[in-house]
Structures are given as C-alpha cells and as structure tokens.
Amino acid sequence: MSNTYSNLKFEIIEVGGNDGTWGPIVNTNVGTAIEQAIVGMATLDTADFTSNVCTLTLTNTNAAQDARAACLNITATLSAAGTLNVPAIQKPYIILNNSVGGFAVTVKVSGLTGVAIPAGKACMVYNNGTDVVEAINYMSSLTLGTDLAITEGGTGASSASGARTNLGATTLGANLFTITNPSAVTFPRFNADNTVSALDAADFRTAIGAGSGAGTVTSVTASAPLASSGGATPNITLSGALPIANGGTGNINGIAVSAPLLQTTNFTISEVGGVLVFKYGATTIATMDSTGNLTTLNNMTAYGSI
C-alpha cells in the first residue's frame, strides 16, 4: 500500500509502512503543511493572475502550496474586477485584497458565487466545501476603537448630536429632530433664530395672521360672486343671509346682491337691498318693497308681460 493524502494534502502514512523513512514525512507534515494551514500566508501577485483570474489547486504533496495557506495576500495589478478560485474543500481563509487598480476580488469555488472583497479591505471567509461564504455575519456586541466613518455606513461620531452634524443636519434640522413629543395636536413654527416652536391651533392661527376664526371680513376681491349665483363659483359660501347693511339682501340666503332672481330673454327680477327690482333690459320699470307695495316707474304694458 502507498501513502494517502488528506484534503489539505497532509501525507498520511500507511500502517506499518515507511519503515525507517516516516520521520521526514512527519516533519514535513508538521513543519510545512500543518503550519502553513494554521498560520501561513501566500502572496498572489500579477504572475498568478491571467486576465484578472487566479485559480488555486492542491496536489498530493505535503510541500508548501498556496491553496493550503491560512491567509491569501493578493498583490496583483488588475485591470478589472478579479476572481480567485479555490479548491472545493472545507477551509477558512483570511483574504487581503491589496491588489493594484482599485478593483474588488471575488473569492469562490469555480462556477459559484463566493464573496467579493473590495480593494484595500481584509475579510475572513469560509470555504464550506461547496462555495466560499462570509465566515462571520453576526456579533452579539461590538466595540470599535474609533467611530465608524460615514463611508463605511456609520456616522463618524460617538454622540447623537455629533452624528446629526456629520450627517448634514442644520441647526434648524437638529432642533426639529429633538423637539419634545407633544401631548396634543400641535403645529411647528420655524423661528428666525433656527429654533422650533410647537404651537396649538389658536397660536398657530395668530402666527400665520388668520386670527381666531371669529373676526369680521372687511374686504373680498370681487373676481367671482360672493355666493353661488347662476352656476358661478363663489368667493364665499354663506351659512346665513348677508345683512343689508353689509351690501347683502338680508333675507335671501345664497343670492348675490346683483344676481337676478328671475331672468327671461328681456325681463329680470333682482333683489337689491330688500327690494325687488323689475327691469326690461337695462331699464327699471317697477320695484316692490318687502311689504309688497309695488311702485310703477314706467308703463309696464309697453314692455309686454312678465
């Protein structure tokens, strides 16, 4: 029988074999193969990469082999993202991507997915015999010697206020972020000194010049009727009659002062100051007050019937 080899290519002496020669084999196993697998580093330079791809293999010898090393230090000059293929055996690796060119290198079993190591970064991976995966993806706690930089997914700070500043918060933004939770519905006001005030409804109306909501309307731009009339969109929808003293009808809700109550081709009947006004075209022919008294200003028969 002849000697065999393990997955990491340690030479396994056959039982009863290698009489008088097993010593050198054991010494090479321990001093070279095992030591290389535990603490050894293999440097993979440009000569090891062809078209940005390096493929490591293991052969039946306990002499030093790159694929057996605990740490693989990539120093090759790359022109694109690199690939490092390793044998499909169970083995951890520490990967140092010190390649030139700024490209990531994916460590994997040929034909599979593997793990991409960015340029300038180090990573511990595990070859599970099928493919290479991250060796560590969970920590119950972590303490860093320095604050994690924003470029690495951190805030670059060790305090909440410092983190907000580093992430670009203005003074106003920071004050809004830290405003106390309200006990009722409130409205934010951004002050000129970059502070933030939480206002209740009454104070908010005052702040925007709306008053209490119970004041008097002193003027309205007459770009549309005050109330619905003839299908026109109103400026104001009345909940009651607009008083005569304020230019309304005082007794007909929802009708604008100048809007006709009745309109035919020639005749119109309008409410003006509590008085019905009968017109033929632009000519007033009669009026009727609120008590029903009719005043004839012109000969109505000359205009036909209403």
- Distance (Å, whole) CA 152 – CA 121: 12
Q: Is 58 left (phi over 0), alpha (psi -120 to 50) or beta?
A: beta
Place of tokens 């595990």: 126
pLDDT tens by residue, 100-112:
999 999 999 999 9
The percent of residues in the chain predicted with pLDDT above 90, rounded, is: 56
pTM higher than 0.75: no
Q: What is the rounded average pLDDT of the residues 46-51?
A: 97
CA distance 208 to 205: 5
- Is the pLDDT assigned to residue 46 strictly greater than 70? yes
- pLDDT (tens digit, 9 = 90+) per residue, 159-198? 999 999 999 999 999 998 888 888 899 999 999 999 999 9
Q: How many CB atoms are located within 10 Å of the residue 95 CB?
A: 22
68, pLDDT greater than 70: yes
Provide the pLDDT for residue 240: 56
